Amino acid sequence: MATEINIKNIPIGFQSIISNGTHTIIGDEPIKSKGTDLGLAPTELVLAGLAMCKVATVRHIARKKNWVIRDVDASLKQVVRRDTEGNLIPKVSVEMSIEGDLTNEQKTELLYEADHCYIHRLLDSNWNIATATERVESVINV
């Protein structure tokens, strides 16, 4: 099943109403980028998706193995540099804490699984992003 996101950008700052058809959030740019800072910036949304996938994967695996855990927290930081040809080279650091009655081996396994969550694998893969085209609204004649 395909994932679909719809977005409506409004004329205030860079505020965008982002929806998957069920849930809605606001995206924006920080004030230093001439936004109004009323929502997460695009890079923050990407990191949030990765972080959420990692912590959810840890919780899923722990439940599957009947391991008792409490809070699972993650902190992600992205730094971007350019190579000699001007290509962007992002580096994301990830720190996680898993509270629970776990052995070191269990924690190591959970961190390994977090590094193999769906979004991590997706971001590591070769993306094929189509060139944007103008959307033509179809009119249904009744």
The dihedrals phi and psi of 92, each to the nearest 5 degrees, come to: -115, 125
CA atoms of 107 and 90, how far apart (whole Å): 27
Joined tokens for residue 2? 């395909």
Q: What is the pTM of this model?
A: 0.88
Q: Give the pLDDT score at 141.
A: 53
Q: Give the pLDDT score at 86.
A: 96
Start-to-end CA distance of the chain, whole Å, equals 30
Q: Give the pLDDT score at 9.
A: 94
Which residues of the chain fall below pLDDT 50?
142
CA atoms of 58 and 70, how far apart (whole Å): 11
Q: Give the pLDDT score at 107.
A: 98
CA atoms of 72 and 104, how far apart (whole Å): 15
CA atoms of 66 and 27, how far apart (whole Å): 37
